[in-house]
Amino acid sequence: MEQLGFGFRTPRKPRKKKRGRPRKPGAGVPHLPRSVHARYPLHVTFRVRRHVWQLRSRRCYSRIQEAFLRLLGRFETRIAHFSVQHDHIHLLVETQDRRELARAMQGFAISAAKRLNKMMGRRGAVFADRYHSRPLRTPTEVRAALVYVLNNFRKHARYGTPAPDALDPFSSAFAFGGWRAPPPPPTDPHPTAAPATWLLATGWRRGGGPIARDEVPG
């Protein structure tokens, strides 16, 4: 018992270390509160598990498109741009708050997983981890993210060397209006929403002007 006023104290027992929930093997995204602000678009990345077929095929891509289309106009969240890579998906997203973002991303992930699992004849998880999100706060950041998302296919050797004027068919590149040499507008419905934030609608141009089709992400 601790004695007060007599100049001595009994030794205290060492405190036991608190054990948190063990992390799953391969988990790379920490469980921290996401930074969300209505003024700032977000760069969101989803990664799929190793058993999932490569996503840059028409059969996989069409199912991901369907999941995007189901999200349009819901949860006060807009997917303005995207690209589908071999084993991951990049999105540029606008939202009002953290809860709406979580609902929208969960809705997309569930919808895409159901469709991909049905195609592959499998069950279970499709996405490898929590999605990663990063707020974009300046015109330079947003422009760099646009180049990264829309021209990401130019970084990957497995896709071959694209022609200088080529646009990624597994992305929203054909619906993007900020190219130096704009393509004809798409005739089919596109699973994206027009950006509403100043940064993603027009402000990004202050970070370097229109984007060249052959501009390679940094």
User: Do residues 113 and 49 lie in contact, with contact meaning Cβ atoms separated by under 8 Å?
Assistant: no
Question: What percent of the chain lies above the pLDDT cut of 90?
Answer: 71
CA nearest to 174, candidates 94, 83, 89: 83
The predicted structure's pLDDT at residue 6: 34
pLDDT digits (tens, 9 = 90+) for 97-155: 899 999 999 999 999 999 999 999 999 999 987 899 999 999 999 999 999 999 999 98
Residue 35 scores a pLDDT above 80:
no
Biggest distance spanned by C-alpha atoms of the chain: 88
In terms of CATH architecture, what is 42-207?
A: 2-Layer Sandwich (3.30)
pLDDT in tens, 5-22: 334 344 455 555 445 444
Read off the tokens for 77: 């969240």
| DSSP one-letter code for 113 | H
Give the pLDDT band (50/70/90) at residue 1: very low
The model's pTM: 0.82
Yes or no: say if 166 and 160 are a contact pair by the CB < 8 Å rule. no
Phi, psi at 145, each rounded to 5°: -65, -40
C-alpha 121/C-alpha 143 separation (Å) is: 39
Query: Which stretches of the chain are DSSP H helices?
Result: 58-71, 98-120, 139-150, 198-201
Q: Which of 30-39, 74-83, 103-112, 189-198 is the least confident region?
A: 30-39
Count the Cβ atoms, other than its own, within 10 Å of residue 211: 20
Q: Which two tokens stand for residue 74?
A: 């819901």
Predicted pLDDT of residue 159: 63
In angstroms, the CA 52 to CA 113 distance is: 10
Domain ranges of the chain: 42-207
Q: What is the rounded CA–CA span in Å between residue 154 and residue 194?
A: 25
CA 150 → CA 165, 197, 218, distances in Å?
A: 13, 18, 13
Q: Rounded distance, CA 135 to CA 173, Å? A: 21
Which amino acid belongs to residue 73?
Answer: G
Q: Region of 160 please: left (phi>0), alpha (psi -120 to 50) or beta.
A: left
